[in-house]
């Protein structure tokens, strides 16, 4: 099932793979993605233009394991992968067309397991709801699509602080 959800100025194309049960309304996830896009746009000094679209694919461990191996060279499933698309200045879109920023693929199966076993959150030791873990993963993946990273300690601290702020904001607006 694929559904476009508009959170002005963003279009979030959500695909739920067959057999995947999502523990929170898709509108909640779309709101979290839109908040992350807004925050990243504010930080990027115009590098992220709106309106634009982003894809969210809600999948299972098997799909994430396959993607993880083929794209990252790692065996086994992971919780989230991001596939940013860098728009080319040489490629002009037709008038009114939205550039596609990229895709975020989340294993709902992994999110639920991490939340239920207390291996969620940034630190891998948080016990909270599956819905909260899923929101964290879509925010995290969206920020990666927008170019934020956590490879360096300073970048990690900034990204974690932004994720925490977005989690608070989107939880309060459910």
Segment 59-111, tens digit of pLDDT: 999 999 999 999 999 999 999 999 998 765 656 777 777 889 999 999 999 99
Which of the four pLDDT bands, split at 50, 70 and 90, describes residue 174? very low
**Is 165 part of any domain?**
yes
pLDDT at 42: 86
d(CA 19, CA 162): 32
Q: Is residue 38 a part of any domain in this protein?
A: yes
Cβ within 8 Å of residue 172, ≥6 positions away: none
Q: What is the pTM assigned to this prediction?
A: 0.92
**Residue 37 domain-assigned (yes or no):** yes
Q: Is residue 64 part of a domain?
A: yes
| Across 148-159, average pLDDT | 88
Task: Name the residue among 164, 170, 159 with its Cα closest to residue 40.
Answer: 159
Q: Is residue 138 part of a domain?
A: yes
- What is the pLDDT, as a whole number, of residue 96? 74
Mean predicted confidence (pLDDT) in 5-34: 97
Query: For residue 39, what is the domain's CATH number?
Result: 3.40.390.30
Residue 91 domain-assigned (yes or no) = no
> For residue 54, is it within any domain?
yes
Distance of CA 137 to the CA centre of its chain: 6
82 within a domain of the structure (yes/no): yes
Domain count, the chain: 1
Q: Residue count of the chain, please give it.
A: 174
Degrees, nearest 5: CA angle 90-85-54? 120
In terms of residue numbers, what domain contains 80?
A: 2-86+96-172
């Amino acid at each position: 099932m694929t559904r476009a959800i508009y959170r002005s100025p963003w279009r979030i194309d959500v695909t739920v793979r067959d057999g995947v049960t999502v523990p929170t309304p898709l509108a909640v996830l779309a709101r979290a993605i839109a908040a992350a896009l807004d925050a990243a746009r504010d930080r990027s000094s115009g590098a992220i233009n709106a309106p634009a679209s982003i894809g969210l694919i809600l999948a299972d461990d098997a799909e994430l394991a396959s993607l993880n191996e083929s794209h990252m060279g790692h065996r086994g499933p992971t919780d989230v992968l991001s596939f940013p698309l860098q728009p080319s200045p040489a490629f002009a879109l037709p008038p009114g067309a939205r550039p596609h920023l990229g895709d975020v693929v989340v294993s709902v199966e992994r999110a639920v397991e991490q939340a239920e076993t207390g291996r969620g959150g940034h630190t891998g030791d948080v016990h909270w709801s599956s819905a909260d873990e899923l929101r964290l993963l879509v925010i995290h993946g969206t920020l990666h699509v927008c170019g934020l990273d956590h490879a360096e300690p300073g970048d990690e601290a900034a990204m974690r602080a932004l994720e925490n702020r977005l989690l608070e904001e989107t939880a309060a607006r459910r």
